[in-house]
Structure 1
Amino acid sequence: MNHFATLHDGSKLLQLPNAWDAGSARLFESLGATAIATTSAGVAWAQGYADNDHLPVDNAIAVAANIARVLTVPLSVDFENGYSSDPEQVARNVLRLIDAGVAGINLEDGNDAPSLLAAKISAIKALAAQSGKDIFINTRTDVYLRNLAPEGERVAEVLKRAALYQQAGANGLFVPGICKVEEIKAVVAGAGLPVNVMDWPGVPPVEELHQLGVARFSAGSGISQALWAVAADMAKGFLATGNAGPLIATAMPYGDLQALFVKEG
Structure 2
Amino acid sequence: MSDFAPDDGFRRFQEFRELHHREQPLLLPNAWDHASAAALAARGFRAIGTTSLGVAAAAGMVDGAGATRAQTVALALGLARLDALITVDIEGGFGEDPGDVAALAAELADAGIVGVNIEDGRADGSLAPVARQREVIAAVKERVPHLFVNARTDTHWLREAPSLDVTLRRVEAYQQEGADGVFVPGLVDDDSVRSVVEAVGVPLNVLFAPGRVSYDRLAELGVRRISTGSLLFRAALDSAVETAWAVAHPDAPVREVPSYGEVQALAERFRG
Find the counterpart in structure 2 of residue 80 from structure 1: 91
**2:176 and 2:269 mapped to 1: Cα distance?**
44
Of residues 114, 120, 126, the one that matches 2:142 is: 126
Find the counterpart in structure 2 of residue 20 from structure 1: 32
Find the counterpart in structure 1 of residue 266 from structure 2: 260
List aligned pairs for 1:1-265, cutoff 5 A: 1-69=13-81, 71-110=82-121, 111-129=127-145, 134-147=146-159, 150-151=161-162, 154-201=163-210, 203-235=212-244, 246=252, 250-262=256-268
Find the counterpart in structure 1 of residue 5 from structure 2: none
**1:245 and 1:37 mapped to 2: Cα distance?**
36
Give CA-to-partner distance per residue, 1:187-234, whole Å, 9 cap, x none: 101122100011125542111211211100000101101211232344
CA RMSD in angstroms, aligned pairs only: 2.3
**2:120 and 2:268 mapped to 1: Cα distance?**
40
**1:252 and 1:231 mapped to 2: Cα distance?**
13
Number of positions where the alignment pairs a residue of Structure 1 with one of Structure 2:
254
Q: TM-score scaled by structure 2?
A: 0.85
**1:249 and 1:207 mapped to 2: Cα distance?**
27
Amino acid at match of 2:223: V
**2:204 and 2:220 mapped to 1: Cα distance?**
13
Secondary structure (helix, strand or coil) at the match of 2:21 reads: coil
**Displacement of 1:237:** 6.6
**2:63 and 2:191 mapped to 1: Cα distance?**
31
Q: Rate the CA distance shift 1:155–1:250 in 2: closer, same or farther, 3 A.
A: same
Give CA-to-partner distance per residue, 1:155-193, whole Å, 9 cap, x none: 221111112111111000001001111111111011221
**2:23 and 2:246 mapped to 1: Cα distance?**
47
The sequence identity of aligned pairs, in percent, is 36
Q: Which moved more, 1:78-87 or 1:48-57?
A: 48-57
Does structure 1 retain, via aligned residues, the 8 Å contact 2:66–2:92? no
Amino acid at match of 1:167: Q
**Displacement of 1:252:** 1.5
Q: TM-score scaled by structure 1?
A: 0.88
Does structure 2 retain, via aligned residues, the 8 Å contact 1:103–1:135? yes
**1:66 and 1:231 mapped to 2: Cα distance?**
24
**Displacement of 1:108:** 0.3
The runs of at least 4 aligned residues of structure 1 exceeding 6 Å deviation read none
Does structure 2 retain, via aligned residues, the 8 Å contact 1:234–1:244? no
**2:133 and 2:47 mapped to 1: Cα distance?**
25
**Gapped regions of structure 2 (runs ≥ 5):** 1-12, 122-126
